[in-house]
Amino acid sequence: MTLETAKRTIQEQGENANKEARAVVRGGMTICEKNVDGSRMYVWVKVKPTKTDDESSIDVALENREKRKTRLPSNTPTRYVKMEYVTPNAPITSSLSSETDKQIVRLSFFERLKNKALEIGHEIDSIVVE
């Protein structure tokens, strides 16, 4: 259903308009799914208007949701950068090699945060041992 048709239907019929027209105008609808254990889960599904009135917007939205649910993970390898940890006894040098600079630039925020947490953990372990 196109957006124009859905708006016209809503104006003519008001709250008694069909479910598809209301979902297209709102941009989505809530559906109920049953889990394996029998509990219910209410999921918001985006419903976009289609180009023609012949195809159902709800059917297209549910098909797209099923495609996303059953999508296989990609086989692209993730890039891991091995970091070397600085020990507190080692002298700090001001000149870094270009390779180390490149490694530091490639790390995401969460990888840097994780490495910093590991560094702090090693520091605490060294203090506890002493």
Supply the range of the domain harboring residue 93.
Answer: 74-130
The domain total for the chain is: 2
Residue 118: predicted pLDDT: 92
Residue with tokens 């259903």: 1
Same-domain check for residues 91 and 78: yes
Residue 1: which of 21, 15, 18 has the closest Cα? 21
Is 49 in the same domain as 83? Answer: no
pTM of the predicted structure, to 2 decimals:
0.48
**Domain final residue, candidates 49, 69, 89:** 69
Over range 40-55, report the average pLDDT: 88
Last residue of a domain, one of 44, 69, 94: 69
Residue 48 shares a structural domain with residue 78: no
Pair 81, 106 in one domain: yes
pLDDT at 126 over 80: yes
pLDDT top residue among 106 and 22: 22
